[in-house]
């Protein structure tokens, strides 16, 4: 009996300490208590972090090879010049349209060589890429490639044929012969400053002291000749004013 009375007294003491009036209020307090801190927290998934590969960054891989250097396009004109050798003959001549101060070649690039013994030959290449000799019937033809920056230079000597025509510039009785030119033997306007078409009557080995008198073809020949010593004085070139149609 005394033990039971002691237990009840203990319970009443606890209720009084907690500020509760009865056992029912103790049950409600226990039911409203939050869970223990040892209870597991709810799982929240973390966001996925994606690391972009090289293709997304736009940067090339360090293992990729460097691009091959571009090869410049070939220069056909330079190749045509480089294909020519000393000793070749070409069907090329001065048109005269450059006047007396420059040469206007009949083509833009050297054509294939022709036989030096044939009548198509108008110039002969005497040297390449060197200082070219000067004199009557001599000139040069050079080309600088915009692709490579290299210059090719051909030294040329005129090849003359009887019955062909060249240009001349007459002033009074004097006529200056344009020795690198060639023109059709027919009466037609000629490029300024030239005013005559000169007919080549003969190409001879020059004797000592040669002049226009050596151009007379027969005794008593009264034709008016204009002559020039070419090939360093070795050849006599004889011309008259063209009188044909």
pLDDT tens digits, one per residue of 207-229: 999 999 999 999 999 999 999 99
Say what the pLDDT of residue 7 is: 52
* 237 contacts 228 by C-beta, under 8 angstroms: yes
Q: What angle do CA 225, 194, 136 make, to 5 degrees?
A: 60
A 10 A CB-CB count for 143 gives: 18
- pLDDT exceeds 80 at position 193: yes
- pLDDT exceeds 90 at position 191: yes
- pLDDT exceeds 60 at position 143: yes
The DSSP call for residue 177 is E
Please compute, for residue 20, the number of CA atoms within 13 A of its CA located in the half-sphere on the CB side.
Answer: 15
Percentage above 70 pLDDT, the chain: 72
* 226 contacts 185 by C-beta, under 8 angstroms: no
Q: Which of 189, 200, 227, 203 has its CA nearest to residue 96?
A: 189
Q: Which of 56, 32, 139, 41 has its CA nearest to residue 90?
A: 139
Higher pLDDT, 18 or 132: 132
- What mean pLDDT is predicted for residues 37-54? 44
* 5 contacts 13 by C-beta, under 8 angstroms: no
Number of H helices, E strands in the chain: 4, 9
Please compute, for residue 25, the number of CA atoms within 13 A of its CA located in the half-sphere on the CB side.
Answer: 11
Question: Residue 236: which residues within 8 A CB-CB, separation 6 or more?
Answer: 202, 203, 204, 205, 206, 207, 210, 214, 215, 227, 228, 229
Q: What are 149's two structure tokens?
A: 């920056």
Question: Residue 218: which residues within 8 A CB-CB, separation 6 or more?
Answer: none
Question: Residue 183: which residues within 8 A CB-CB, separation 6 or more?
Answer: 96, 165, 166, 167, 190, 197
* 103 contacts 141 by C-beta, under 8 angstroms: yes
Query: What integer best gives the mean pLDDT of the chain?
Result: 83
Q: Distance between CA 54 and CA 2 in Å, rounded?
A: 87
Q: What are 125's two structure tokens?
A: 């290449």
């Amino acid at each position: 009996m005394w033990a039971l009375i002691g237990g009840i007294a203990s319970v009443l003491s606890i209720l009084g300490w907690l500020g509760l009036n009865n056992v029912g209020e103790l049950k409600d307090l226990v039911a409203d208590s939050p869970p223990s801190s040892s209870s597991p927290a709810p799982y929240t998934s973390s966001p996925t972090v994606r690391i972009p590969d090289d293709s997304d960054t736009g940067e090339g891989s360090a293992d990729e090879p460097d691009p091959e250097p571009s090869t410049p396009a070939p220069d056909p004109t330079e190749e045509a010049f480089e294909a020519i050798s000393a000793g070749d003959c070409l069907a090329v001549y001065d048109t005269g349209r450059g006047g007396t101060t420059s040469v206007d070649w009949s083509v833009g690039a050297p054509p294939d060589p022709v036989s030096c013994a044939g009548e198509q030959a108008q110039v002969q290449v005497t040297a390449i890429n060197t200082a070219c000799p000067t004199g009557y019937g001599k000139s040069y033809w050079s080309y600088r490639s915009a692709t490579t920056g290299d210059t090719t230079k051909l030294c040329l000597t005129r090849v003359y044929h009887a019955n062909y025509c060249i240009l001349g510039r007459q002033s009074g009785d004097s006529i200056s012969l344009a020795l690198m030119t060639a023109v059709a033997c027919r009466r037609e306007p000629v490029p300024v400053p030239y005013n005559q078409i000169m007919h080549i009557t003969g190409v001879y080995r020059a004797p000592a002291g040669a002049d226009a008198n050596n151009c007379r073809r027969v005794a008593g020949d009264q034709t008016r000749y204009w002559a020039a010593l070419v090939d360093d004085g070795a050849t006599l070139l004889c011309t008259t004013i063209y009188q044909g149609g």
